[in-house]
């Protein structure tokens, strides 16, 4: 991404709010927050900002010494049982921050162990908003942030359930063409898994099935040479055979378009939860306006004409759902950063049951406060990892905020921000 392209993208993203009469289901949703943006909707250049300098955690091991029968002796605990095959030993204490390197010294390569937790996320190659967005990884204590996949713009990461590979979206055919790629946890073996041919323009938001045999992806079609007839889909991809099956086909769009984003599997593999978004298209300006978004569920096997089961009111502007790994609970965010770059109205996390009942608010930020969005469950289901955006200016005019990674418990307690890194759309690595 060139500097000129970044500047143009920022200018486009900060364009005037859409005009028109607001609906009556939420105060100022369209008059204040509805965004217009240039098609395609998912190319997000220049969407991130910087944050504070890096910090590091440190821990010190403690030795116990005791005396017996007047003779000093070291007393050790019994050796722990060796982990079973496929299991991980308890995590060792951190050795503290790395020593400073001498000038001209090359740092040692980062080794990705099989039993190490890492957060995969989206950001630029460095910490500043320069260069090309990439797939990155960082330890939960904020150390060893590095690029995993960096060729072209890359987003929407998801780990296999053994933590061995990542799937992600890469814009590899120009600003309008996106494909699904995979890469090993250590950054090796990067390859294109499946792509698009006209009228398909973009595949994005891939998520692994519980047995890692399939991916569910969002698809956007746009007939060549016209804005009419656009259509969105959800489809599954068999990883071994690359066979693709449409499990939800949206209506053909005119000036209104219905699309499906960030799909995730249920723990039993029978259902898919996703964002169901509605847009109003302006063919003269080439821009579109989000008019509402809900969380919805479909059967993972189709058929393609099935009716989604809507869980939330479109007024909530819900986005980025994720199914709890072993419970009937879905986490979701509101006002995703893709559509609401610099809108400082209340942006929070919620959980809900798959039948649409028991909506619970996890965070309680108000207007002009922290924005919490893009949540996913940790693999053990004990916490939520999400995008934590702090304001950087007093008047918030054109302020995109410090975009950071954070953890929180489902009851809203235990908030901790990952120190020293910028990023969005985090996903914690499962351990084998």
pLDDT at 147: 92
Q: What is the pLDDT along the chain (432 residues), one digit of tens a residue?
A: 434 433 444 344 434 333 343 333 333 333 333 343 333 333 333 222 223 333 222 332 322 323 333 333 333 334 444 444 456 665 444 444 444 444 554 456 788 888 899 999 999 887 877 778 889 999 999 999 999 987 566 688 999 999 999 999 988 776 678 899 999 999 999 999 999 888 998 999 999 999 999 999 999 998 887 778 889 999 999 999 999 999 999 998 788 999 999 999 999 999 999 999 999 988 777 778 889 999 999 999 999 999 999 999 999 999 999 999 999 999 999 998 877 888 888 999 999 999 999 999 999 999 999 999 999 999 999 999 999 999 888 777 777 888 999 999 999 999 999 999 999 999 999 998
Strand, helix or coil for residue 345: coil
In our burial notation (b when 16+ CB lie closer than 10 A, e otherwise), range 156-173 reads bbbbbbebbbbbbbbbbe
Distance CA 319, CA 259 (A): 12
pLDDT at 61: 31
Strand, helix or coil for residue 32: helix
Domains located in the chain, CATH noted: 3-52+113-428 (2.120.10.30)
Strand, helix or coil for residue 7: helix
Distance CA 93, CA 80 (A): 15
Looking at the whole model, is its pTM more than 0.85? Answer: no
| Alpha helix segments (H runs only) across 64-183 | none
pLDDT at 399: 79
Report yes or no: 149 and 187 within 8 Å, Cβ to Cβ.
Answer: yes
Report yes or no: 215 and 209 within 8 Å, Cβ to Cβ.
Answer: yes
* Share in percent of the chain as helix, strand, coil (round to 5): 5, 40, 60
Strand, helix or coil for residue 10: helix
Peptide bond into 199 cis (omega under 30): yes
Contacts of 147 (CB under 8 A, 6+ apart): 125, 134, 135, 136, 187
| Alpha helix segments (H runs only) across 259-399 | none
Residues linked to residue 388 through DSSP beta bridges, in sequence order: 372, 404
């Amino acid at each position: 991404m060139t500097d000129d392209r970044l500047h143009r993208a920022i200018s486009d993203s900060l364009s005037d709010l859409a005009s028109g009469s607001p609906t009556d289901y939420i105060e100022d949703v369209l008059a204040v927050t509805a965004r217009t943006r240039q098609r395609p909707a998912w190319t997000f250049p220049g969407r991130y900002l910087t944050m504070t300098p890096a910090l590091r955690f440190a821990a010190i091991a403690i030795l116990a010494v005791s005396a017996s029968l007047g003779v000093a002796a070291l007393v050790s605990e019994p050796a722990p049982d060796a982990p079973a095959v496929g299991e991980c030993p308890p995590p060792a204490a951190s050795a503290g921050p790395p020593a400073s390197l001498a000038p001209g010294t090359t740092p040692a390569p980062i080794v990705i162990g099989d039993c190490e937790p890492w957060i995969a996320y989206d950001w630029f190659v460095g910490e500043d908003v320069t260069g090309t967005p990439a797939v990155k990884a960082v330890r939960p204590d904020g150390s060893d942030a590095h690029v995993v996949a960096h060729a072209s713009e890359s987003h929407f990461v998801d780990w296999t359930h053994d933590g061995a590979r990542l799937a992600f979206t890469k814009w590899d055919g120009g600003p309008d063409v996106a494909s699904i790629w995979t890469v090993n946890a250590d950054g090796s073996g990067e390859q294109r898994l499946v792509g698009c041919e006209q009228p398909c323009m973009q595949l994005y938001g891939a998520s692994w099935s519980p047995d890692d045999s399939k991916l569910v992806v969002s698809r956007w079609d746009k007939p060549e040479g016209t804005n009419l007839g656009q259509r969105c889909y959800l489809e599954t991809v068999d990883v071994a055979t690359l066979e693709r099956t449409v499990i939800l086909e949206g209506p053909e769009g005119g000036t209104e378009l219905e699309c499906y984003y960030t799909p995730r599997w249920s723990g039993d593999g029978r259902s898919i939860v996703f964002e169901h978004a509605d847009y109003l298209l302006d063919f003269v300006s080439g821009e579109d306006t989000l008019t509402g978004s809900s969380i919805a569920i479909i059967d993972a096997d189709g058929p393609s004409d099935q009716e989604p089961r809507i869980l939330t009111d479109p007024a909530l502007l819900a986005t980025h759902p994720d199914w709890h790994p072993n419970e009937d609970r879905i986490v979701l965010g509101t006002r995703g950063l893709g559509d609401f770059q610099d809108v400082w109205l209340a942006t929070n996390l919620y959980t809900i049951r798959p039948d649409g009942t028991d909506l619970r608010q996890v965070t309680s930020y108000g207007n002009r406060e922290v924005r919490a969005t893009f949540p996913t469950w940790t693999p053990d289901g004990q916490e939520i990892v999400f995008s934590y955006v702090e304001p950087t200016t007093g008047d918030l005019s054109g302020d995109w905020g410090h975009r950071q990674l954070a953890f929180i418990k489902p009851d809203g307690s235990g908030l901790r921000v990952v120190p020293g890194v910028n990023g969005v759309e985090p996903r914690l690595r499962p351990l084998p």
